[in-house]
Amino acid sequence: MTPDELLTEIRSRGSQITVDGEDLRLTGRVGSLTEELRNQIRAQKADVISLLRQEDAAAPALLPKEGQLPVSHFQERLWIIQKLDPKATEYNLVTVWPFGTRFDADTLETALRRVIGRQSVLRTCFRETPTGPVAVLLERDVVPVQHVVLDDLGEQARRAACDEAVGREVARPFDLENAAPIRFTILDFGAEGVALLVAAHHIAIDHWSLSLLRDEILSAAAEGPGYAALGPVLEYADYAGWQRQRLHPSRLGRHLDWWEQTLRGVPDLCAFNADLVPRLGWDGGSQSFLWDEDFSRRLVAFAQSRGATLYMMLLAAAAVALHRETGLEDIVLGSPVALRERREFEQMIGPFVNTQVLRMTVTAETSFAELLDRARDALLDSHPHSHVPFEMVVERVRPARNLNRSPLFQFAVVLQNAAGAPSEPIFGGGAVHDMTWFVRQAGGQVMGAIEYRSDIYLPESVRRLLARLEAILWYAVEQPETPVARIPLVSPEERGILLGNFIPEAVEIDPTPYPQQVARTAKVSPDATAIRHEGHSVSYGDLNRRANRLAHLLSDRGIGRGSVVGLCLDRSPDLIVAMLAVHKAGAAYVPLDPAFPPDRLRYILTDSSARAVITGGDTARALDVPDRVEELPVAEATSDAEAFSDSDPEVGIIPHDTSHLIYTSGSTGQPKGVEITHGALSNLLGALRQEPGMTSEDDVVAATTTVSFDIAAVELQLPLTVGATIELLDREIATNGEALAEALQDRNVTVVQATPSAWRLLLEAGWEGSPEILAISGGEALTRDLADALLARVGRLWNGYGPSETTIYSTGAWIAADGAPVSIGRPVANTRVYLLDEAGDPVPIGMQGEICIGGAGVAKGYIGLPEQTRDRFRPDPFDPAEGARLYRTGDIGRWSSDGRLFHLGRSDHQVKIRGVRIELGEIEAALLSADPIRQAAVVVEDAGNDDRRLVAYVVYEPGEDMTASEVRRHLRATLPRHMLPTVIMDLPALPRTPNGKLDRKALPRPFEQGGPRQSAATPPRPGVEATLAEIWCDVLKVDRVGAEDNFFELGGHSLLTLRVVRQVRERLGIALDPRVLFFKTLRQIAAELSHLQTG
């Protein structure tokens, strides 16, 4: 068997054989090659390699131009895009060529018909077959050539008519299945000559080809009939057939391996921050630029001096801009590649285009000179693999896909340097990528434009980006060794806007301490209802008197200014009375959630140096009170207080006095206490009375938030300063969507504050809302879909943002049903917000920076943590007020051009889940305190529908092991329920980056491909247990559930209980009380359901 025959036999069996260095690579179905064939391959290895290399080097062959013809990989991709959206126009290319009087309209049409006949790609349509698209040739007269006579118009009118014609063509889709991919319009100006408007789809032509097409038209017009007599030449269909053979995946193994390795773990999105919510469309806009000759010359000279090119300079500048705006250190850019690598292709009309992805690392300390070297290396390293079709790279790498964003990269840089290219502009029908930076050199100047998706970006944002790119390059030429983080990008004018226009002027806010504000309300409206709870009401007069008596009792016990009192009470009027009484005594309170682990509550009492703790009911039994802390059962204290006066205590509270302590999750493994002043609290209450506004005694405010969560003050304190009524709801109602929806409806609530997670709980319960309701969302990010759902049910929606360290809400925004991205708004009264870079300087508008908050709401600091206080609470260099401080939130944000703030995430590993701030480091520390665990990492994963879950990864000591239940039991001793991981996955080792850091992207994704593996020590029994287990698996996104598992220990939460209730009702016909999911195992619940089923 000759080498030719051997190759034919191998390929006939469905296998592929390619050269890999000095070896052969065989791919195909297992068993397709016999041992005899394998021996033949071994015996003739050298001849087979030589033959395969000859095939690779072979020129394309002329194909018969009839029937079904092959399409290139690029054409296939564009065909798919058009099939997905037949009305898409982003790949339209439209230009106008003025030919003057060198020939008339009829001569031009004749020349066009000759070119169309000779260049079959211009009359190709694309049809679908079972194996993919194929090209089919149309008759030459099918290609439309329209005449438009404009000889009676003046110059200005002709120009307007041309512009109108261009506008029509860029917005007119191509029917690629039935019509030609190009349209011509001859514009007849009479004595002024003619022009040709060309509208083509990119599937048939590229920018270089437009130059070739113009030359072909001129040749056809000049040569006349002789042009049509020219012999056949290679055409694009011949190239497509050659490419399909040469670039078969089996021949590209090592190249695809290189791309897979190079692009492993690229960011899901590497784009400039969006101004708008992307749609499933690719509408485009363009902003142009022109740099003067001096700057253009210096750019080119600098690049040459560094052994680089202008294009490498552009890539480095784009990487700097992306890093500075997004904070990403892993930058990916799109770079076009011309595939005319053979002489035969240089004069061929067709789309010889490929796209490669360039990846660079940029840190704050990287200099531009270093980055330029990296851009050069990225280009040179990718060059040997640049012929691999982009579509194959995407298929191999399998990046996160999004129908309305480009895969792998979102920003492309294009240097247009086609020799002899027409000077006339080329118009597009939309943006192919999020942004494409087109640059060209002409007349000694660098010029071009950024083409952008107008459904994502606003024109002013793109103009600012162009200015920043220019500023980056100016500075790079002057000081190339400067770290990129120190390249100044804020102009003096913009600095004035950031530190002037975006900072609200100080306003007068009632500085009266909160307890005195309540006393004032009680004096004005003593009989008005202050609190409603379980059918009972407490008037303002009664509330004030009870609080006064308890305050006198506390004072009698030596509790006053400088003291701290713990409040460990269930949700009842006693809680509000106690809060107010502690304030009236001049002391500060620290709220304690009775549901927290005893060890955590004890730590807070000890760390806060509490003098006493007020307890009530069952809470006392769950509390391990430290020796030096006096326990005051609320019933006894209330009874003892009857002996004291009900007059307002005469305690002189000053603004700097501590109002209360809020304990938040701490990265050191223990919670940390934030010390809030009376001045900060009074300012917040006054600011919120202004916006979102609460001034009516007719308001009924639902109190649903646990008292240990700082936003509870909006529900438990703000209403009492204006005479509104607090509707105090029990924990059982507040965490049960259906019960909460019913309560809000029945009790005529007008103000509801909730976290987005709690809002979803309500919506899933079928809550219909009311146009009378003011909805306040806070504690975590409000998504657009949730905002729209709420706006359909409430009268007004206000989105608040702020950390505990700046007293609850520091910014806020009214949200409208306009589809725009959800903003966290503008600073509330007497609050200053800055976005700062790592050097502490303001960042430009639109660029991301750390949110730093100054003004009246800034807390004193952290109790007993002077180093952390100094690190996070800094002197405010922008506030002229003496002693002004700001708080570094660790949150990342950006300004819009109109001064609205957008929250973009965290700069560290702190997260919020269902509104509660969680330091992942605290959970990791708790995990590592278990002896069998050697390493631990905790991340947040989305299980779908904005359901964020904690996932723990653990590495055990050699020979050690723990079940998931044992790990959770260990964590429950120190962590509250909301900090328990949903999933605990054991790994042999934690993945690391090349520099030794934890590679969080390489951690297994638990909610993909069927959910995480869970140990199920006791399998469910057939019947109700098995059905209930199936329901839990579906809702929790886990693959197994044990009979002794608890729903909440597996990661369930209140919102998910409703989904369980719904499925139980649908599948078993039984109404399940969602509260049993909190504390019973699957087996216990199944037993109750069985009893109900038979009962």
Over 709-720, what HEC string results?
CCCHHHHHCHHH
E strand residue ranges, 68-117: 92-100
Are residues 905 and 891 in contact, defined by beta-carbon separation less than 8 angstroms?
A: yes
**CATH number of the domain that residue 1055 is part of:** 1.10.1200.10
Query: Residue 504 domain-assigned?
Result: no
Q: Which of 244, 272, 287 is the last residue of a domain?
A: 244
**Ranked by mean pLDDT, which of 633-642, 689-698, 775-784, 1052-1061 comes out on top?**
633-642
**CA neighbor of 647 nearest in space, from 532, 541, 785, 501:** 541
Same structural domain, 983 and 1041: no
* CA distances for 566 relative to 38, 596, 616, 1092, angstroms: 81, 14, 12, 43
3-state SS track over 415-450: EECCCCCCCCCCEECCCCCCEEEEEEEECCEEEEEE
pLDDT, tens digit (0-9, with 9 covering 90-100), for 858-914? 999 999 999 999 999 999 999 999 999 999 999 989 999 899 999 988 776 666 666
Would you place residue 81 in the very low, low, confident or very high pLDDT band (cuts 50, 70, 90)?
A: confident
pLDDT of residue 14: 54
pLDDT of residue 204: 97
* CA distances for 239 relative to 137, 155, 236, 352, angstroms: 15, 43, 5, 9
pLDDT of residue 607: 96
Mean pLDDT in residue range 821-832: 96
pLDDT of residue 1017: 61
Tokens representing 441 are 């050199």
Same structural domain, 871 and 743: yes
**CATH number of the domain that residue 207 is part of:** 3.30.559.10
The overall average pLDDT reported for the chain is 88
pLDDT of residue 1040: 85
Mean pLDDT in residue range 175-193: 94
Same structural domain, 966 and 1034: no
Are residues 797 and 676 in contact, defined by beta-carbon separation less than 8 angstroms?
A: no
**CA neighbor of 345 nearest in space, from 422, 251, 229, 238:** 238
Q: What proportion of the chain, given as a percentage, has pLDDT over 70?
A: 93
Same structural domain, 256 and 235: no
Look at phi and psi of residue 727 and say left if phi exceeds 0, alpha if psi is from -120 to 50, else beta: beta
Per-residue pLDDT at 29 exceeds 70: no
Instruction: Determine whether 871 is exposed, middle or buried from the number of CB atoms within 10 Å of its CB (0-12, 13-18, 19+).
Output: exposed
DSSP secondary structure code for residue 617 in this structure? G
Same structural domain, 694 and 781: yes
Long-range contacts formed by 1087-1092: CB under 8 A, 24+ apart: 1089/1024, 1089/1028, 1089/1064, 1090/1023, 1090/1024
Query: Residue 497 domain-assigned?
Result: no
Q: Residue 787: in which H helix or E strand, if any? A: helix 784-791
Are residues 811 and 858 in contact, defined by beta-carbon separation less than 8 angstroms?
A: no
Mean pLDDT in residue range 130-156: 90
Q: For residue 88, count other CB atoms closer than 10 A to its CB.
A: 18
* pTM across the whole model: 0.72
Query: Residue 1010 domain-assigned?
Result: no
Beta bridge partners of 854: 832, 886
**CA neighbor of 363 nearest in space, from 405, 394, 322, 334:** 322
Beta bridge partners of 331: 360
Mean pLDDT in residue range 312-340: 92
**CA neighbor of 512 nearest in space, from 504, 503, 521:** 521
State the Cα–Cα distance between residues 375 and 350, nearest whole angstrom.
Answer: 29
**CATH number of the domain that residue 766 is part of:** 3.40.50.12780
Q: Which of 244, 274, 296 is the last residue of a domain?
A: 244
pLDDT, tens digit (0-9, with 9 covering 90-100), for 6-21? 777 776 565 667 677 7
Amino acid identity of residue 614, one-letter, is: I
Same structural domain, 629 and 754: yes
pLDDT of residue 41: 84
Q: For residue 880, count other CB atoms closer than 10 A to its CB.
A: 7
Within 8 A by CB and 6+ apart from 1060, the residues are 1031, 1032, 1035, 1047, 1052, 1072, 1074, 1077
pLDDT of residue 1013: 46
Same structural domain, 294 and 418: yes
Tokens representing 941 are 């994963």
Tokens representing 235 are 């055409």
pLDDT of residue 348: 93
pLDDT, tens digit (0-9, with 9 covering 90-100), for 444-480? 999 999 999 998 899 999 999 999 999 999 999 999 9
Are residues 344 and 234 in contact, defined by beta-carbon separation less than 8 angstroms?
A: yes
pLDDT, tens digit (0-9, with 9 covering 90-100), for 55-79? 666 667 788 888 899 999 999 989 9
First to last CA, the chain: 81
Dihedral pair phi/psi, residue 1058, rounded to 5°: -65, -35
Query: Residue 791 domain-assigned?
Result: yes
Instruction: Determine whether 820 is exposed, middle or buried from the number of CB atoms within 10 Å of its CB (0-12, 13-18, 19+).
Output: middle
Within 8 A by CB and 6+ apart from 612, the residues are 554, 557, 559, 563, 565, 566, 629, 630, 631, 632
Are residues 530 and 720 in contact, defined by beta-carbon separation less than 8 angstroms?
A: yes
State the Cα–Cα distance between residues 640 and 916, nearest whole angstrom.
Answer: 36
pLDDT, tens digit (0-9, with 9 covering 90-100), for 924-975? 878 988 889 988 888 888 776 667 788 999 989 888 888 887 888 888 877 8
State the Cα–Cα distance between residues 104 and 645, nearest whole angstrom.
Answer: 107
Tokens representing 263 are 């692009």
Choose the weakest-confidence range: 117-126, 420-429, 525-534: 420-429
pLDDT, tens digit (0-9, with 9 covering 90-100), for 612-651? 999 987 776 768 899 999 999 999 999 999 999 999 999 9
Query: Residue 861 domain-assigned?
Result: yes
Mean pLDDT in residue range 341-345: 81
Taking 3-state DSSP, the helix, strand and coil percentages for the chain, each rounded to the nearest 5, stand at: 40, 25, 40
**CA neighbor of 978 nearest in space, from 925, 1034, 915, 1032:** 915
Choose the weakest-confidence range: 157-166, 184-193, 521-530, 900-909: 900-909
Query: Residue 100 domain-assigned?
Result: yes
pLDDT of residue 995: 45
pLDDT of residue 139: 93
pLDDT, tens digit (0-9, with 9 covering 90-100), for 246-283? 777 667 888 999 999 999 888 888 999 888 877 656 67
DSSP secondary structure code for residue 162 in this structure? H
How many residues does this entry show for the chain? 1095
pLDDT of residue 917: 64
**CA neighbor of 436 nearest in space, from 209, 284, 281, 280:** 284
- Output the CA torsion 702→706→710→716 (10° steps): 40
pLDDT of residue 853: 98
Same structural domain, 970 and 1081: no
Same structural domain, 209 and 183: yes
pLDDT of residue 526: 96
Query: Residue 982 domain-assigned?
Result: yes
Per-residue pLDDT at 313 exceeds 50: yes
**CATH number of the domain that residue 43 is part of:** 1.10.10
**CATH number of the domain that residue 921 is part of:** 3.30.300.30
Q: What is the DSSP string of 490-536?
A: --HHHHHIIIIITSPPP-------HHHHHHHHHHH-TTSEEEEETTE
Beta bridge partners of 850: 836, 892
Please state whether the peptide bond connecting residue 692 to the residue before it is cis, i.e. omega within 30 degrees of 0: yes
Same structural domain, 775 and 702: yes
pLDDT, tens digit (0-9, with 9 covering 90-100), for 993-1051? 544 556 777 788 787 644 444 444 678 999 999 999 999 999 888 888 888 888 877 87
Q: Is 74 helix (H, G, I), strand (E, B) or coil?
A: helix
Instruction: Determine whether 458 is exposed, middle or buried from the number of CB atoms within 10 Å of its CB (0-12, 13-18, 19+).
Output: middle
Task: Find the domain containing 335 and state its range.
Answer: 251-489
Measured over the CA atoms of residue 400, residue 401, residue 404 and residue 405, the dihedral's sign is positive
> How are strands ordered across the β-sheet holding 588-591?
630-633, 612-615, 564-568, 588-591, 658-664, 672-677, 861-862
pLDDT of residue 1010: 45
Q: Which of 222, 244, 266 is the last residue of a domain?
A: 244
Same structural domain, 188 and 268: no
Query: Residue 903 domain-assigned?
Result: no
The number of domains in the chain is 6
Per-residue pLDDT at 661 exceeds 80: yes
Within 8 A by CB and 6+ apart from 64, the residues are none
Higher pLDDT, 419 or 683: 683
Same structural domain, 598 and 730: yes
